[in-house]
């Protein structure tokens, strides 16, 4: 365990915001985590578990204690004729794991290549991209209760996974720290190329092999999304809004070009990026807070924006989308005061 005081948060959030954390604890073993939650070690509250910091907007210094799970290890747990069970420690970078799986010939998460953040955040957020969600491959999650320091394993069906959500973000928020995630991946590759331009992009690379699909996903992503190493951002700032069929029908009548996804039976999903662009925000700036020029769903820090500048911009965007379309945008990024 490594304890740091009054530390800069800049390397720990992809918006690149330079706030400070009162205390930061790097955790390498479950024993260390247990010591904290059994209160053998007293920590200034509140406690905040931070993964890769790729989906979080700090709006000021964090006065409490930040916990950084750094559990490593990527393992093959079990191999059968057609599938394999693999696991990864919460502190592993997600894309390092995704790449390893592709190199090993294990398929199921290749469409999730390139997503920033650590493995520990993957089930919490049920990350998704290009027609795939993490929940489709996760089989169980090892956690430690923040209440009593005991290990608890959650099976997939206990996690209440939904679009960018799980019980770890809703009813059980803050109650468990993820230490390890287990995935069931396939040995026979059956590509999922249903998303928009993925088939075409993979086609350009030749046969749809596992490696080519990963490269195609990375190519699309690099074209549309800003690299946080170059320009601070937290990926999609808003979720794609889910609306009733009636609302969707009204919007289709008023705006015939509106993208509407009907993968849900009673509800329809709209494209938040399209709504934001139609309100004229794409590429706009308010000082150093801005809307990405290639993807209006992504808010960026052009250099010296504060968390509050970005939050204020997001609120203006939400207001204009509500006024023009009558649709409420929910944040995907977690805001921390």
What's the rounded Cα separation, in Å, for the pair 260 and 188? 32
Strand pairing report for 267-270 and 242-244 = antiparallel
Q: Which residues share a beta bridge with 178?
A: 143
What's the rounded Cα separation, in Å, for the pair 204 and 184? 29
Catalytic-role residue among 164, 180, 214, 318: 164
Residue 140 or 268 having the CB closest to ligand EPU:
268
Residue 43 or 296 having the CB closest to ligand EPU:
296
Residue 158 or 277 having the CB closest to ligand EPU:
277
Active site residue 201: no
Residue 7 or 197 having the CB closest to ligand EPU:
197
Give me the residue label for tokens 């890769």. Answer: 52
Count Cα neighbours of 316 within 13 Å in the Cβ-side half-sphere.
Answer: 16
104: left (phi over 0), alpha (psi -120 to 50) or beta: alpha
Which structure tokens are listed for 278?
């139609």
Report which DSSP code applies to 233: E
Which structure tokens are listed for 132?
């795939």
Distance of closest approach, residue 66 Cβ to ligand EPU, in angstroms: 22
Distance of closest approach, residue 279 Cβ to ligand EPU, in angstroms: 11
Active site residue 320: no
Q: In what order do the strands lie in the sheet with 232-236?
A: 232-236, 298-301, 289-291, 285-286
Distance of closest approach, residue 160 Cβ to ligand EPU, in angstroms: 18
Integer CA distances (angstroms), 103 to 55, 214, 321, in order: 27, 10, 43
Distance of closest approach, residue 220 Cβ to ligand EPU, in angstroms: 8
Residue 25 or 112 having the CB closest to ligand EPU:
112
Distance of closest approach, residue 337 Cβ to ligand EPU, in angstroms: 22
Active site residue 236: yes
Is the C-alpha dihedral spanning 306, 17, 223, 102 positive or negative?
negative
Residues that bind ligand EPU (CB under 6 A): 129-130, 195-196, 224-225, 235-236, 239-240, 259, 271, 273-274, 277, 282, 295-297, 332
Catalytic-role residue among 70, 172, 201, 332: 332
Catalytic-role residue among 107, 137, 215, 236: 236
Q: Which residues are catalytic?
A: 164, 236, 332
């Amino acid at each position: 365990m490594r304890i740091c005081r009054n530390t800069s948060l800049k390397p720990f959030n992809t918006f690149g915001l330079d706030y400070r954390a009162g205390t930061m604890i790097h955790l390498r073993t479950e024993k260390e985590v247990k010591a904290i939650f059994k209160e053998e070690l007293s920590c200034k509250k509140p406690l905040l578990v931070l993964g890769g910091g790729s989906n979080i907007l700090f709006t000021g210094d964090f006065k409490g204690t930040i916990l950084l799970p750094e559990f490593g290890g990527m393992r093959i747990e079990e191999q059968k004729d057609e599938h394999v069970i693999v696991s990864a420690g919460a502190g592993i970078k997600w894309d390092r794991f995704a790449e390893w799986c592709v190199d090993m010939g294990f398929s199921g998460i290749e469409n999730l290549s390139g997503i920033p953040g650590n493995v520990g955040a993957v089930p919490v957020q049920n990350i998704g991209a290009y027609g795939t969600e993490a929940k489709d491959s996760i089989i169980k999650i090892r956690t430690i209760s923040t209440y009593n320091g005991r290990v608890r394993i959650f099976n997939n069906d206990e996690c209440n996974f939904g679009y960018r959500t799980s019980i770890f973000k809703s009813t059980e928020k803050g109650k468990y720290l993820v230490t390890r995630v287990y995935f069931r991946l396939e040995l026979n590759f059956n590509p999922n190329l249903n998303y928009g331009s993925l088939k075409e992009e993979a086609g350009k690379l030749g046969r749809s092999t596992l490696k080519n699909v990963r490269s195609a996903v990375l190519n699309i992503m690099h074209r549309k999304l800003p690299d946080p190493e170059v320009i601070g951002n937290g990926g999609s700032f808003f979720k794609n809004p889910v609306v009733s069929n009636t609302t969707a029908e009204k919007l289709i009548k008023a705006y015939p070009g509106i993208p509407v996804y009907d993968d849900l039976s009673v509800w329809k999903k709209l494209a938040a990026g399209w709504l934001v662009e139609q309100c004229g925000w794409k590429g706009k700036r308010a000082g150093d807070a801005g809307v990405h020029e290639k993807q209006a769903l992504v808010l960026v820090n052009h250099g010296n924006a504060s968390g509050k500048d970005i939050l204020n911009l997001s609120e203006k965007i939400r207001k204009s989308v509500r006024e023009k379309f009558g649709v409420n945008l929910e944040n995907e990024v977690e805001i921390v005061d």
